[in-house]
């Protein structure tokens, strides 16, 4: 029998990123029996960010890992349980409780909060894992300010890549866009702005085959898709913007989503299933940052408390 088999809780929070940790804090403070289920490490993508310089209260910046550790410690002060196990599905039983299928058995909960975030697509090339947080980044708004007066590369040709390239010009002295095709996929307005920007240059028909550097990024090896020739482009950082996907597949039969799989909620974080909430990067929203995830989590936990009160 697994650790969670047959256990009943007020709130099951799936995901221990900033949204899940914030929800845990608010649920714990409300004296709700709360469990956080996480299949990886506490903090999610935020914990892999080398420095976070835009979270209120930390003028000198703080590492993502340290910030997430503080959030975890704060939640644990209010007797929130953490169980490290994968979640494969969520359903409802005849008593309107949520059944959460985990690697440690089936958990029962009066409410559930989906805070599983999103996964940034990776290049899968040598050097990417080794140098993540040491010049390899997946978020320009998070890490751009650390590359003031530097040369940075950005990989991708869609809206996200070009928006991030434009943002990086506020700090970097040179931004080089690497795209595997001969034209951008971004909307025309974005294309036009990027193509005429004096700080942005383009490497067309190019793919990154390796990110080079020892203790920090020093450049990337590019392969020309037409000729097969390779060359090293020196740079201080590389931003990868080849797409993200929400981690919502396991609840696809329980919630409404948009065409990309992001969970649809109202401003109270309520999904299409009563008692089931979503918070953070997994839900459809305009800005995905630690500070917005924390806000979502606080709202979701508060609404979960209200929902249980209305059931009584």
- Distance between CA 136 and CA 208 in Å, rounded? 13
Angle at 286 between CA 283 and CA 288, to 5 degrees: 65
Q: State yes or no: is 139 an active-site residue.
A: yes
- Distance between CA 228 and CA 208 in Å, rounded? 12
- Distance between CA 87 and CA 129 in Å, rounded? 25
| Residue in 139, 236, 296, 305 annotated catalytic | 139
Q: Are 191 and 165 in contact (CB under 8 A)?
A: no
Q: State yes or no: is 142 an active-site residue.
A: yes
| Residue in 66, 93, 129, 142 annotated catalytic | 142
Listed in sequence order, the residues at least 6 apart from 264 whose beta carbon sits closer than 8 Å to its beta carbon are 255, 256, 257, 258, 271, 272, 283, 284
Run of H or E residues at 72: helix 64-76
Q: Which two tokens stand for residue 135?
A: 């010049």
Q: State yes or no: is 266 an active-site residue.
A: no
- Distance between CA 28 and CA 296 in Å, rounded? 16
| Residue in 143, 236, 296, 305 annotated catalytic | 143
Catalytic (active-site) positions:
139, 142-143
């Amino acid at each position: 029998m697994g650790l969670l088999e047959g256990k009943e809780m007020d709130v099951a929070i799936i995901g221990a990123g900033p949204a899940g940790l914030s929800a845990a804090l608010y649920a714990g403070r409300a004296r709700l029996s709360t469990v956080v289920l996480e299949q990886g490490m506490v903090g999610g993508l935020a914990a892999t960010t080398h420095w976070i310089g835009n979270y209120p209260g930390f003028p000198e910046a703080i590492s993502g890992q340290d910030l997430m550790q503080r959030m975890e410690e704060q939640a644990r002060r209010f007797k929130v349980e953490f169980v490290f196990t994968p979640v494969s599905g969520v359903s409802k039983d005849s008593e309107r409780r949520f059944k959460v299928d985990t690697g440690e058995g089936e958990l029962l909960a009066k409410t559930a909060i989906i805070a599983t975030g999103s996964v940034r697509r990776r290049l899968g090339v040598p050097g990417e894992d080794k140098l993540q947080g040491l010049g390899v980044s997946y978020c320009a708004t998070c890490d751009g300010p650390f590359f003031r007066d530097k040369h940075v590369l950005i990989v991708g040709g869609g809206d996200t890549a070009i928006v991030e390239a434009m943002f990086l010009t506020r700090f970097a002295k040179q931004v080089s866009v690497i795209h595997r095709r001969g034209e951008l996929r971004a909307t025309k307005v974005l294309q036009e702005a990027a193509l005429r920007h004096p700080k942005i240059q383009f490497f067309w028909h190019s793919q990154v085959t390796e990110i080079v550097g020892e203790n920090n990024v020093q450049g990337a090896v590019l392969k020309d898709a037409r000729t097969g020739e390779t060359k090293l482009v020196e740079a201080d950082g590389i931003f990868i913007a080849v797409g993200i996907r929400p981690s919502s597949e396991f609840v696809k039969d329980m919630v409404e989503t948009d065409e990309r799989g992001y969970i649809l909620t109202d401003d109270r974080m309520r999904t299409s299933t009563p008692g089931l909430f979503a918070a953070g990067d997994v839900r459809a929203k305009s800005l995905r940052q630690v500070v917005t995830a924390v806000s979502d989590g606080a709202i979701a936990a508060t609404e979960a408390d209200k929902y249980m009160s209305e059931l009584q």
